[in-house]
Amino acid sequence: MPPYIPNARALILISGACEILGGIGVMLPFSHVAAGWGLIALLVAVFPANLYMATEAGRFRSVAPAWALWARLPLQAVLIFWVYRACIDGG
């Protein structure tokens, strides 16, 4: 989490809970569209943290190699498209 973001631990726990709830929500017919929008919002919201990890890759060597931290940035666009197609456009 970038140092300029307050309450990092709480935000990590909240984003994890939202990720789990979104995953459950996409499986339920009555909530898959709302869950899809929620997951897209989550992917957008965590992008700054992922960008920070990529630009400060040396600090996160124990988490993942630098190439993986950079590779997941464009992967987020793919995931956003995938969630959109699966839950909203094709849902």
- For residue 43, being part of any structural domain is answered with yes
- Give me the amino acid identity at 79: L
- For residue 80, being part of any structural domain is answered with yes
- For residue 11, being part of any structural domain is answered with no
- For residue 70, being part of any structural domain is answered with yes
d(CA 4, CA 90): 38
pLDDT at position 89 is 85
Number of domains in the chain: 1
- For residue 7, being part of any structural domain is answered with no
Residue 80 structural domain: 29-89
pLDDT at position 38 is 96
Q: Could you say which residues of the chain have pLDDT below 50? A: none
pLDDT at position 91 is 55
- For residue 22, being part of any structural domain is answered with no
pLDDT at position 3 is 84
pTM assigned to the model: 0.88
pLDDT at position 5 is 85
Q: Which residues contact 13 (CB under 8 A, 6 or more apart)?
A: none
Confirm if 72 and 50 have CB atoms less than 8 A apart. Answer: yes
- For residue 35, being part of any structural domain is answered with yes
- For residue 68, being part of any structural domain is answered with yes
